[in-house]
Amino acid sequence: MVSAVETNPLIPRHPAASLSAMRAPAHTDLLLLLLAPLAGCTGTDEAAAGKPGGPGGPEPPAPVLLAEVVQKDVPVEIEAFGTVEPNATVAIRSQVGGVLVGVHFQKGQDVAQGDLLFTIDPRPARAEKQLTEANLARNRVQYENAQAEATRQKALYDQKLVSAEQYESARAAAEALAAALRADQAAIRSAKLKVDYSTLRSPIDGRTGDLLVDLGNLVKAGDAPLVTINQIHPIQVVFALPQRELPRVTAQMAASAPRVDAFVPGAEETPATGKVVLVDNAVDQATGTIKLWAEFENAESRLWPGQLVNVVVTLSVQAGAITVPARAVQTGQKGSYVFVAKPDGTVEDRFVEVARTYADDAIVEEGLAAGERVVTDGQLRLKPGSRIVEKTAAPGGPPKP
C-alpha cells in the first residue's frame, strides 16, 4: 500500500527532513515580516533627507522685495504747526456822527483800496461848511477895512497928527481880524473833512466780514466798528520753531528767504507755497521757541484767517544723499541695520547710520553705497547668509512671491 507521503512530491520522504523542511519557511517568513517595516522607514528617511527643506537639507530661498540704494538731492526741511493770519486787518469806524444812509457792499465781498463802503448823512457837515465859509467872507471884509484903517493911522501917526495909542488900536484891530480869518480857514478845512468823512472808503484791498451796523442806524464818531476788513491776498502764516534751529534759519535768510509749504487739512496733496518774511527779534523764554512769519500770495484763497496748517520750511538741499526706503531699515540691539542682497543670492546684515527721514526715504550717512540692493519686505524670515528669491508686488495688492 502506497502512503500519501510517498506519493505527494511536495513532502520529503525522510520524516526528520520533512519536519525540518516544513518548519523552516515559518521562521523565514516571520523574520522578513519584522524587517520589512524597518527597511521601509529607512528608505523614507533617506528620501526626505535629500529633499530641500527636509531635516538636514538646505532651506528654501525666502521670497523678499528688494529696492536699490539711490543717490539723489534731498531737501533739508523742518516741520511745524502754524496759524493763518490776515496780512492786514482794519476795523472801519465812522469819524463823524450821523445817520447811516448808505451801505455799498455785500457781506463777505472782496473790496479794493478806495472802494466806497458807507455813507453817513452828509447834510450836517455840509451846512457847517457853508457856515464857516460865510464867516470867512464876513471876516475878510472886516479885515480888509481894518487893514486900510491901520494904514491911514500909520500915515497920520508919522505926521504927528494922531497919538500912538490911536495907531496901536487900529493896528491891533487889523491883526485880530487877520487871526479870525485864519481861524475861519481852519474851520472850513475841518468842515470839508467832515463832509469827506461822511463817505467811508476801504483803506486796503481785502475781504469784508459781517455788517455790524445796519442801514438807518445812528452812528457816533469813533464808536463800534461798522465792518472789519481782512487782507487775504497776500496772507501770512505764523509758526514757531525750536530755538536750536535759529542758526540754520538765519544763515539761510542771509542768502535767500527760505521756502515754506503750508498743508491745509483735507488738501495735503497741493500745499500752498510762500516764503519767510520775518524772524522775531527775541526767543520766547517760556517755550524756547522763535516765531516766524511766512507770506503767501494765496491767489486761490486756499488759506483763511484763523486756520491751522502744517508747515514745512525748506532750509537747503543736501546734494548726493544716499537714500533707501525707510521700511528697509530695521532696529536691533546694536542699532539700525538693513539686509543687503549679495550677488550669490544670499543676504548679509549691515549696520547703517540714519541721519533723518524725508517722505518715505531714510537718508543714510554710513553703511551703504549707491547701486546696492536692500530688502524692503520679508526681513522676518531672514538671517545672515539666508538665500532669497525676489518677488514682485501686485498692483494695488500685497506682494506676490
Q: What is the pLDDT of residues 366-394, one digit of tens each?
A: 999 999 999 999 999 899 999 999 987 65
Distance CA 275, CA 5 (A): 122
pTM beyond cutoff 0.85: no
Task: Decide which of 260 and 160 is more confident.
Answer: 260
Distance CA 151, CA 164 (A): 13
**Secondary structure (3-state) at 112:** coil
Q: What is the pLDDT, as a whole number, of residue 23? A: 42
Which residues have a Cβ under 8 Å from the Cβ of 307 and sit 6 or more positions away? Answer: 83, 84, 264
Task: Specify the DSSP element, H or E, that contains 174.
Answer: helix 164-197
Q: What is the pLDDT, as a whole number, of residue 52? A: 52
Strands (DSSP E) found in 24-139: 62-68, 70-92, 98-103, 110-111, 116-120
Query: pLDDT averaged over the chain?
Result: 85
Looking at the predicted structure, is the pLDDT value of residue 272 above 80?
Answer: yes
For the chain, what is the largest distance between any 2 Cα atoms, rounded to a whole number of angstroms? Answer: 215
Distance CA 5, CA 312 (A): 112
DSSP letter for each residue of 3-44 = -HHHH-TTS-SSHHHHHHHHHHHHHHHHHHHHHHHHHHHHHH
Q: What is the pLDDT, as a whole number, of residue 74? A: 92
Q: What is the pLDDT, as a whole number, of residue 17? A: 40
Residues 100 and 219 sit within 8 Å (Cβ to Cβ): yes
SS3 of 252-313: HHHHCCCEEEEEECCEEEEEEEEEEEEECCCCECCCCEEEEEEEECCCCCCCCCCCEEEEEE
Question: pLDDT tens digits for 115-157?
Answer: 999 999 999 999 999 999 999 999 899 989 988 988 888 888 8
